[in-house]
Amino acid sequence: MIDQVYNTIRYQLTPSVATVTLHRPRAGNRVNAAMALELGEVCRRIRDDGALTVILTGRGQVFSSGREKLPASRRADTAVTPAEWLQLHRASAALAALEIPLIAAINGDALDHGLELALACDLRVAARGTRLGFTDISRGIVPWDGGTQRLPRLVGRTHALEMLLTSRVIEAQQALGWGLVNEVVEPGDLRTRTQELALEIASGAPIAARYAKETVLKGMDMTLEQGLGLEADLNVILQSTCDRTEGLRSFFEKRDTHFRGE
């Protein structure tokens, strides 16, 4: 196992599962510029390391309670502009750009920017009692790292607008009913369950998993006809892979598959 220490996150790698832990527990794992930068760096490393699945979680009692506040005042000769400040703190895009499946292990409250990080993942497993929500409008701002776009794609326009416009924070069980999270488990079971889920995904054909993710995510912004075309095109490509041959061979030979991602 590789255990890499950054300043604001921790990175662990087993042969198939990478675990990224937000590690600013005294600050509620709030996203600052350093964390955003390191999340981008670790995403590039994950690609190089060849992990098949990623788990994103938080250190301590919360997943992430949000972001650092936008400075109310700044010195013109030293500080960045508000637009530059926002760009420096963007972190969700790097996570969402990973081709492999991501699982958010939401160990505690995921609020504002913290929820935006969870929304950038493909699956979300929450500990019972966890709270999720956006309180930005109550402070005169709106989510700006993907929250306004990813939230309605998961829970629908009605629930998304309710959460955003009222700054309503919901508990994990309600988030499950709305489709915001996939599972709710007891806090002591969260780590085991997410590891099981990650290994289950990693045991499948890696190329097929990447294509399934690509088809679903890109297809949501396409017409049905375009989405069906993408699905067909990627399936044609899969027919020429070694994994496809192994899948067929193992079926006929009645044995476990041994995918190589080729």
- The pTM score is 0.89
Q: And the tokens for 33?
A: 């510029």
The domain segmentation of the chain, as residue ranges, is 2-202, 206-252
| 8 Å CB contact between 243 and 208 | yes
Q: Report which DSSP code applies to 91.
A: -
Instruction: Tell which residue, 31, 212, 41, 177, has the closest CA to residue 110.
Output: 31
Q: Which CATH number fits domain 2-202: 3.40.50.300, 3.40.640.10, 3.90.226.10, 3.30.9.10?
A: 3.90.226.10
CA distance 259 to 159: 40
Q: How many CB atoms lie within 10 A of CB 237?
A: 11
| 8 Å CB contact between 101 and 53 | yes
How confident is the prediction along the chain (262 residues), in pLDDT tens digits per residue? 666 779 999 999 998 999 999 999 999 999 999 999 999 999 999 999 999 999 999 999 999 999 887 655 544 445 677 778 778 889 999 999 999 999 999 999 999 999 999 999 999 999 999 999 999 998 888 999 999 999 999 999 999 999 999 999 999 999 999 999 999 999 999 999 999 999 999 988 888 888 899 999 999 899 999 998 888 888 788 777 655 554 545 444 454 555 555 4
Strands 131-133 and 123-127: unpaired
Q: And the tokens for 252?
A: 């006929």
CATH entry 2.40.128 includes domain 206-252 = no
CA distance 45 to 75: 35
For tokens 């930068």, name the residue: 37
